[in-house]
Amino acid sequence: MIDTLETKLLKAKIELMTKSVFISTICLSVRHIITDSIPTAATNNTSIMYNPEFIENLSVAELAGLIAHECWHIAYMHIARRGTRDPILWNVAGDYMINYMLKKAGFALPPQGLFSDKYDDAWSTDTVYDDIVEEGADYDTSTLMLDIQGTGEEEGDGEGNGNADVKDILVRAHTQARLAGKDQGEIPGEILRVIDKLLNPTVPWDIVLNRFVDNRVREEYSWARKNRRFSIYLPSLHSYGLGHLTWAIDTSGSQEDEDLQNVLTNIDSVQKMMRPEAMTIIDCDSRIHRIYEIDANTDIMSLDFTGGGGTSFLPVLDYVSEHPTQALVYFTDLYGETHLPEVDYPVLWICNSNHAPANIGETVYIDP
């Protein structure tokens, strides 16, 4: 029976190769294991496991769709990105998003796969997750294909076991797709931005932060004062210093206290060293919880933060648009809206995850 199933898997892989260079490269980069230890199929990032009885009842086309489904879980790094979210609902959210994409691309799907026309191209895994949490939907785990295994904390052993190897697989798959002229249109923009980050490492984020803030210092030449020595008016450089700086701190459930303390330390340093005219710190997740107006006497390290929910960037962007500032610095894991509106003020995103860069402003990543 195993030999027959191996042949079936091979046929499905060949069919996949005719549909997607990017996904077929991921498929060929991971191990494929037939085992009774799982009820249907699953991936642990760099292996795909199949229950023999389950795939025996699938057509070759449905099996190709199943393999593509698991490969997209790998491409989206769903295991590493889960954080503290509910693992079942996170799995469900990923399945909805991937299956819509596969069906749109003409793939056949196993009959057990989740699908909804509601979750179309405008949604991401993060926004689908927030939506099903808000709806309070109850899913019967006995009928679900729960196919994401692992914690996301694995570092990799060089043989395809962990997140470090997933990054190598993504870069390899992108390279093959680009050589075949299939990188644009086939690969979602979110994944392309992740790959761009992997190919273009960033400098330490605190250096970028200091440069960003330093560039906000307003300087201009003034003819207002007479030069006493020569009794004539000469232009002189007149510095107005740093104006109003706004910080937004994402305190959603996926954030770590250690990173929060790190950012607060840097905010405190900016306050003491650069002495901006005014500073605002916003405590936020999917909404704004508190707004702190900072002055020279504020103990920044002792501020209280609430949060713990999902993530939405729009409340903060709307608030800052209505309360002008010289710049916005946003500390977040970027797991919120993926298509943000353009704003008329500088934005620096300090990201503590592997998420793709924001589509507005500048994104810098916290070094592990």
- pLDDT (tens, 9 = 90+) of the chain, 368 residues, equals 666 899 999 999 999 998 888 999 999 999 999 999 999 999 998 799 999 999 999 999 999 999 999 999 999 888 888 888 888 899 999 999 999 999 999 999 998 888 999 998 888 888 899 999 988 877 776 667 777 876 545 444 434 345 557 878 888 888 888 887 766 667 877 777 677 766 655 556 566 776 777 666 644 444 444 445 444 444 444 444 578 899 999 988 656 667 778 788 888 888 887 788 889 999 998 899 999 999 888 899 889 887 667 889 999 999 999 998 989 999 998 888 888 999 999 999 988 887 788 889 988 887 54
Same domain, 187 and 247: no
Same domain, 180 and 294: no
Instruction: Give the end of a domain, one of 173, 199, 225.
Output: 199
Same domain, 128 and 209: no
From residue 63, give the alpha-carbon distance in Å to each of 15, 106, 123, 296: 10, 13, 25, 63
Phi, psi of 294 (to 5 degrees): -95, 135
CB 364 within 8 A of CB 202: yes
Q: Which of 46, 27, 29, 23 is nearest to 177 (CA)?
A: 23
Q: Which one-letter amino acid corresponds to residue 316?
A: V
Instruction: Give the end of a domain, one of 176, 199, 222.
Output: 199
Integer Cα distance of 356 and 359 in angstroms = 9
List 247's β-bridge partners, or say none.
281, 329
Residue 352 is predicted with a pLDDT of 80
Same domain, 51 and 172: yes
From edge to edge, which strands make up the β-sheet containing 41-43? 31-34, 47-50, 41-43
Residue 1 is predicted with a pLDDT of 63
Alpha carbon 129 to its chain's center: 14
Same domain, 78 and 216: no
Enclosing domain of residue 248: 205-365
CB 244 within 8 A of CB 238: no
Same domain, 240 and 336: yes
Structure-token match 């086309």, residue found: 61
Helix or strand run (H / E) with residue 55: helix 52-56
Same domain, 217 and 192: no
CB 361 within 8 A of CB 345: no
Residue 179 is predicted with a pLDDT of 80
- Total structural domains within the chain: 2
CB 282 within 8 A of CB 248: yes
Same domain, 11 and 47: yes
Same domain, 50 and 191: yes
Backbone dihedral region for residue 79 (phi beyond 0: left; psi -120 to 50: alpha; all else: beta): alpha
CB 284 within 8 A of CB 248: yes
Beta strands 232-233; 226-227: pairing state: antiparallel
Q: What is the CATH number of the domain that holds 214?
A: 3.40.50
Same domain, 177 and 227: no
Going by C-beta distance under 8 Å and a sequence separation of 6 or more, which residues neighbour residue 294?
A: 271, 278, 279, 280, 281, 300
CB 205 within 8 A of CB 350: yes
Same domain, 265 and 156: no
Same domain, 169 and 263: no
